[in-house]
């Protein structure tokens, strides 16, 4: 039963790909969530995230 549940999770992870895995890891990281809250308050729509943010988290938003 446990093996079947694990295989189901691994299959779901494989379907979401690297971007999905990155999102799952980051969305659970309290430091990332805090950084995004700070960033969201300081950003203007259509403006790129700061170089500091992308250097720390390796993300680029479009």
pLDDT at 30: 95
Q: pTM for the complete prediction? A: 0.59
Cβ contacts of 27 within 8 Å, gap of 6 or more: 33
pLDDT at 1: 57
Alpha carbon distance 37, 9 (integer Å)? 29
pLDDT at 43: 65
User: Which letter does DSSP use for residue 60 in this model?
Assistant: -
Q: pLDDT tens digits, residue range 6-61? A: 788 788 878 888 888 888 888 899 999 998 888 777 666 667 777 888 888 876 55
Q: At 51, is the secondary structure helix, strand, or coil?
A: helix
CA angle 36, 46, 38 (to 5 degrees): 20
pLDDT at 44: 67
């Amino acid at each position: 039963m446990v093996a079947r549940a694990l295989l189901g999770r691994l299959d779901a992870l494989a379907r979401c790909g690297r971007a999905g895995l990155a999102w799952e890891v980051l969305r659970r990281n309290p430091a990332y969530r805090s950084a995004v809250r700070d960033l969201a308050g300081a950003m203007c729509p259509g403006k790129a995230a700061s170089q500091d943010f992308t250097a720390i988290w390796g993300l680029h938003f479009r």
